[in-house]
Amino acid sequence: MPAADLKREIAACTLCAEHLPLGPRPVVQFSPRSRILIIGQAPGTKVHASGVPWDDDSGHRLRGWLGLDKDAFYDPDLVAIMPMGFCYPGKAKGGDAPPRKECAPQWHGAIKEHLPADRLTLLVGSYAQAHYLPETRRLSLTERVRRGSEFAPFLPLPHPSWRVRMWMARNPWFEAEMLPRLRRAVAARLP
């Protein structure tokens, strides 16, 4: 199926509509030329309202980590964005509910078929890491991120929510060592 048709199918998806408090609004970005794939968790309310992936403070922090400005980040020929759940899942105790489980099996394979095989794939947060690195479930997020180079072609990252500031203060190696490596890996995929 051509990428344009797949995008239309995703945009019209109502697979889990009955479970979505704000209704379906799939948020995804990709192109057959995307050199970087970001797999996150699910859109929050700001992203649901705008329809633009990572259009919030977490996205600002993530773009800073990657060394990308908004123009590059939102260029689907450079960056594909494929969350574990494509729609806002609602609230739960302590924040947003987990991503809906229907999206990844329904759409991830089809999207990845359209992407270059030599792409850089970033697993942002524990939901993406649990799905794509199930053998690492016994590791803490900190250990997965610290040992990131062992999991090629995937690179695990913490979720860039406001809570990550406390994690980064306890793990100064992330900013000192990991972010420069991440930026080099991202720059190597750019034209």
pLDDT in tens, 131-151: 999 999 999 999 999 999 999
Output the pLDDT for position 29.
Answer: 97
Mean pLDDT of all residues in 10-35: 96
Output the pLDDT for position 122.
Answer: 98
Percent of the chain at pLDDT > 90 equals 95
pLDDT, mean over the chain: 96
Q: For residue 93, is pLDDT > 90?
A: no
> Which residue bears the tokens 């609602």?
90
Name the pairing type of β-strands 95-96 and 91-92.
antiparallel
- Residues β-bridged to residue 157: 124
DSSP 154: E
Top-confidence residue, 93 or 8 = 8
Q: For residue 94, is pLDDT > 90?
A: no
Residue 9 in tokens: 């199918």
Output the pLDDT for position 183.
Answer: 97
Contacts of 163 (CB under 8 A, 6+ apart): none
Q: Give the tens place of pLDDT for each residue, 26-79.
A: 999 999 999 999 999 999 999 999 999 999 999 999 999 999 999 999 999 999
